[in-house]
Amino acid sequence: MAVVEQSASRAAPLPATAGLSAWVSTVDHKRIGILYVATSLAFFAIGGIEAMLIRWQLWAPGARVLGPEIFNQLFTMHGTTMVFFVGMPILIGFGNYLVPLMIGARDMAFPRLNAMSYWLFAFGGTLTYASFFAGGAPDVGWFAYAPLTEYAFSRGHSTDYWILGLMTSGIGTLAGAVNLVTTILTFRAPGMTLGKVPLFVWMMLVDGVLLIFAIPPLTAAQIMLLFDRSLGAHFFDTQAGGSAVLWQHMFWFFGHPEVYILALPAFGMISEIVPVFSRKVIFGYESVAAATIAIGFISMGVWAHHMFTVGLSDALDAIFSGVTFLIAVPTGIKVFNWIATLYGGRLRMATPMLFALGFLGMFLMGGLTGIMLASVPIDWQVSDSYFVVAHFHYVLFGGTMFALMAGFYYWFPKATGRMMSERLGRWHFWLMLLGFNLTFFPMHIAGLMGMPRRIYTYSADRGWTVWNQLSTAGATVLGVAFAIFFWNLFLSLRRGKPGGDDPWDAWTLEWATTSPPPPYNFEEIPLVRSRRPLWDLKHPEDPDWMHE
Amino acid sequence: MSQAGLPQSISPARRFERHAPTFELGAAHSAQVGMVCFLCSEVAFFGTLVVAYITYIGQSTAGPTPAEALSIPLAVANTICLVASSFTAHLAGTAMHRGGLGGFRGWLAATIALGALFLAGTAVEWRSLIFEHGLTIGRNLFGTTYYTLVGFHAAHVTVGVLLLSLMFCLSATAALSRLRTGGFEIVSWYWHFVDTVWIVVFAVVYVFGR
Ligand code: HEM
């Protein structure tokens, strides 16, 4: 490692690449990636504060921290923010930064389109939040069920802000997806066949395809809703023959692939990090890639498992339940691949690895409650209860967020040239693990006891109080954990210890260039012969391509 | 972790073997892939609108019905325009590949004219629907779904006509060599796609939906 460290000759930024205007006008994929990630982190702080307020209102029965109207706005904005302005853009940001580096390219396929994607996202997010200053934020829940969203029931413009904000950022996301897929298909370095790209790239490819097919139906549905609200159309107007259930179908046709859109890049990060910190190649590369494709296909056919309680028909319920069980198979395959990679490895318990292991445990929990919910009778019992809230936070937070944190600690040195503090990282990890479970595990129990989601208060005689207090206490711990994370980012950026080009002794191409990489990434486009090109370079006596 | 043999001061980035890039990195290639990706998203978009249309066939609680309001001869004439324009677009492409600037511009102009004719036909149709049949987007579910589906398609035709006109203007300048790199090809893919969507719309709205 010492070898590479000495070569950390960080090029002084050229005058034209410094300063605010350079960031605003940039078309460099690395800078756009950083802009994505930084903006998403700001939204994450906002969404986190909203969650805190929700939790404080639920601390005690009959609490008056927030009124019911504000409460409705907060859970709607929390869910919307976390999904659309944190989850998707931060993952696209990592993809933006990493994919060209990992495939040995100089930039994305369409750099200007890339900048447009980012700015549409930033503008869409801001527009949605502007609703707070225009008479109140959206309060219809993150999936905005009709007919509550029709003008008769949702006066004012809060719902229009929701529609237009998400549509704007959605177009940006779509353009970003087109860009990612095109980059991966056409910009790979010579020799890097699709069978040799890092698994993160595989997952971003399938992610991009999912986005391409999932975002437009949402946009179309939102346009219909907009026409209903402002032109007097009748799509979801039940009194004129319209159907509220159609909105649910269309929303979840987007919404369920969306869950995998938020999960796949996280799986990709884990598939990069676990091997490097186990000092082994990933177990079953082909099966991980194949499972990703399988997940992509199946995820398009499970949407109505969000609608078991609507009363579709027994046959439909049975089909969607079956397909939902089916998607657990490729997901399970991946979990086995990661565990098999760990097995017999020389594990290095650095912070990225801690978060990766945390991911494995927490995501597994979420997956198991997911299988419970896939069976229709159980779902009928606990649908729309806190059990569901617990389930999807184990997947989205326990899964995606833990993986993202692993990604932050792992790639921060690449993007900045500096290491994040391991000491603070450990505090962050253990507090997050504790706070996360303290917040969300009790929600399973509250849900089983019958506590519905989206209620702003409850009475003392229901026996839910203690579980809610545990959750609120846990949320406070989570708040501290994330304060440490932000402090760590800030501190490490200013005086983290230099990381060198390849601090983790890794094997993929992003570690083959300097930290941070020059604007053109690679002086020479590398020639790739195996899945671990940097290993080949470091070990000419025993290169991978002799064995693969 | 033996790393013997790496000179101490050289970043690995600089030490890959020299070679000529063999993989396709050209702009035309990625533009093609990008257009295909975009058209896939359009399939999903129009698919959703069509599903909504089909769901609501016969669900209106008030008139007029499609059978009363829609004029088949006009729709057929429109369809002929658009289908013909796909052929002329194809001929323009063939002419360009042969290097015939005159042929290219002629067929391109024909394509633009046919597209504009289609839009004019739609305008006539909407005028009659609105003023003779009183069908607006808020009148009933038929109006709601009809104007949304047909309107979004017409908007796509409009964009197509604008893009083709842009190509026409470019061909008047010295930029034909740029067109050759694939610009026209990609615009023509878009145009063929919009035509195909119309076939579906025609089948759903004017044949099955009546
Ligand atoms: C920072 C820690 C977090 C806490 C304390 C938290 C807490 C909560 C709570 C209590 C609810 C239920 C509100 C209700 O039903 O009344 C909720 C809803 C939700 N959360 Fe979180 N959450 C956190 C992070 C996240 C993350 C990271 C995501 C996704 C990436 C997320 C996505 C959602 C969604 C989609 C909803 C549903 C909103 C709705 O019902 O419309 N949350 N959260």
Q: What is the pLDDT of residues A84-113, one digit of tens each?
A: 999 999 999 999 999 999 999 999 999 999
- Quick one: pLDDT at residue A544? 87
The answer to whether A358 touches A277, Cβ cutoff 8 Å, is no
- Quick one: pLDDT at residue B180? 57
- Quick one: pLDDT at residue A527? 85
Q: What is the pLDDT of residues A18-40, one digit of tens each?
A: 688 889 999 999 999 999 999 99
- Quick one: pLDDT at residue B175? 57
A43 lines ligand 1 (CB under 6 A): no
- Quick one: pLDDT at residue B184? 86
Residues ≥6 apart with Cβ < 8 Å to A487? A424
Task: Specify if B7 maps to a domain.
Answer: no
A257 lines ligand 1 (CB under 6 A): no
- Quick one: pLDDT at residue B170? 80
Task: Specify if B2 maps to a domain.
Answer: no
Helix (H) or strand (E) holding B17: none
Contact A212 B44 (CB under 8 A): yes
How many Å lie between the alpha carbon of B133 and the closest alpha carbon of chain A? Answer: 17
From chain B, pick out residues whose CB is under 8 angstroms from the CB of A179.
Answer: 34
Task: Specify if B1 maps to a domain.
Answer: no
The answer to whether A354 touches A426, Cβ cutoff 8 Å, is yes
A337 lines ligand 1 (CB under 6 A): no
What's the pTM value of the predicted model, to 2 decimals? Answer: 0.92
Q: Enter the DSSP assignment of B174.
A: T
Among B208, B73, B70, B202, residue whose Cα is nearest residue B133: B70
Question: A418: helix, coil or strand?
Answer: strand
Q: What is the pLDDT of residues B66-84, one digit of tens each?
A: 999 999 999 999 999 999 9
CATH value at residue B77: 1.20.120.80
pLDDT band at B24 (very low <50, low <70, confident <90, very high): very low
**Choice between A526 and A134, residue whose per-residue pLDDT is larger:** A134
Q: What is the pLDDT of residues A476-507, one digit of tens each?
A: 999 999 999 999 999 999 999 999 999 999 99
- Quick one: pLDDT at residue B177? 57
Q: What is the pLDDT of residues A239-290, one digit of tens each?
A: 999 999 999 999 999 999 999 999 999 999 999 999 999 999 999 999 999 9
- Quick one: pLDDT at residue A415? 96
Q: Is the pLDDT of residue A3 over 80?
A: no
Q: Domain limits of chain A?
A: 33-545
Distances (CA, A) of A334 to A4, A264, A268, A475: 32, 11, 10, 30
A253 lines ligand 1 (CB under 6 A): no
Task: Specify if B54 maps to a domain.
Answer: yes
- Quick one: pLDDT at residue A373? 96
Q: What is the pLDDT of residues A348-384, one digit of tens each?
A: 999 999 999 999 999 999 999 999 999 999 999 999 9
Among B79, B94, B89, B80, residue whose Cα is nearest residue B110: B89
Q: Is the pLDDT of residue B15 over 60?
A: no
A398 Cα: distance to centroid of ligand 1 (angstroms): 12
The answer to whether A262 touches A404, Cβ cutoff 8 Å, is no
Question: How many CA atoms does the CB half-sphere of A465 hold within 13 Å?
Answer: 9
- Could you tell me what percent of chain B has a pLDDT over 90? 67
Exposed/middle/buried for residue A211 (C-beta within 10 Å: 0-12, 13-18, 19+): buried
Exposed/middle/buried for residue B128 (C-beta within 10 Å: 0-12, 13-18, 19+): middle
Instruction: Please give the average per-residue pLDDT across A218-223, as a whole number.
Output: 98
- Quick one: pLDDT at residue B16? 47
Task: Specify if B33 maps to a domain.
Answer: yes
Instruction: Please give the average per-residue pLDDT across B9-19, as a whole number.
Output: 42
Q: Enter the DSSP assignment of A544.
A: G
From chain B, pick out residues whose CB is under 8 angstroms from the CB of A525.
Answer: 16, 19, 21
Task: Specify if B5 maps to a domain.
Answer: no
Task: Specify if B57 maps to a domain.
Answer: yes
Residue A420, both tokens: 């994040």
Q: Whose CA is nearest to atom 7 of ligand 1?
A: A51
Residue A214, both tokens: 């999932």
Instruction: Please give the average per-residue pLDDT across A447-462, as a whole number.
Output: 96
How many domains does chain B divide into?
Answer: 1
- Quick one: pLDDT at residue B179? 54
- Helix A199-231 crosses helix A88-102 at what angle (to 10 degrees)? 140
Instruction: Please give the average per-residue pLDDT across A215-229, as a whole number.
Output: 97
Contact B52 A235 (CB under 8 A): yes
Q: Is the pLDDT of residue A223 over 60?
A: yes
Residue A153, both tokens: 């029931």
pLDDT band at A448 (very low <50, low <70, confident <90, very high): very high
Instruction: Give the nearest chain A residue to B47 (CA atoms).
Output: A217
The answer to whether A35 touches A118, Cβ cutoff 8 Å, is yes
Contact A514 B13 (CB under 8 A): yes
Class of domain A33-545: mainly alpha
Q: What is the pLDDT of residues A119-143, one digit of tens each?
A: 999 999 999 999 999 989 999 999 9
Q: What is the pLDDT of residues A40-76, one digit of tens each?
A: 999 999 999 999 999 999 999 999 999 999 999 999 9
Max Cα distance, chain B (Å): 86
- Residue in A192, A233, A239 nearest the CB of B137: A233
Which backbone phi and psi does A385 adopt, to 5 degrees? Answer: -110, 175
Q: What is the pLDDT of residues B163-201, one digit of tens each?
A: 999 888 888 775 555 555 568 889 999 999 999 999 999
- Quick one: pLDDT at residue A485? 98
- Quick one: pLDDT at residue B182? 67
From chain B, pick out residues whose CB is under 8 angstroms from the CB of A190.
Answer: 19, 21-23
Q: Is the pLDDT of residue B14 over 80?
A: no
CA dihedral A409, A413, A418, A420 (to 10 degrees): 0
- Residue in A3, A186, A527 nearest the CB of B17: A527
Instruction: Give the nearest chain A residue to B49 (CA atoms).
Output: A220
- Quick one: pLDDT at residue B31? 86
Can you tell me the distance from the alpha carbon of A441 to that of A462, in angstroms, rounded to the nearest whole number? 18
- Quick one: pLDDT at residue A281? 95
Among A388, A390, A387, residue whose Cα is nearest residue A448: A387
Contact B148 A224 (CB under 8 A): yes
The answer to whether A280 touches A344, Cβ cutoff 8 Å, is yes
Among B180, B118, B189, B114, residue whose Cα is nearest residue B153: B118
Task: Specify if B73 maps to a domain.
Answer: yes
Q: Is the pLDDT of residue A10 over 80?
A: no
Number of H helices, E strands in chain A: 18, 0
State CA A142 to chain mean position distance: 16
A136 lines ligand 1 (CB under 6 A): no
> Domain range spanning residue B159?
12-208
Mean pLDDT, chain A, as a whole number?
94
- Quick one: pLDDT at residue B181? 54
- Quick one: pLDDT at residue A17? 58
Contact A110 B52 (CB under 8 A): no
Q: Enter the DSSP assignment of A452.
A: B
Question: How many CA atoms does the CB half-sphere of B157 hold within 13 Å?
Answer: 30
A442 lines ligand 1 (CB under 6 A): no
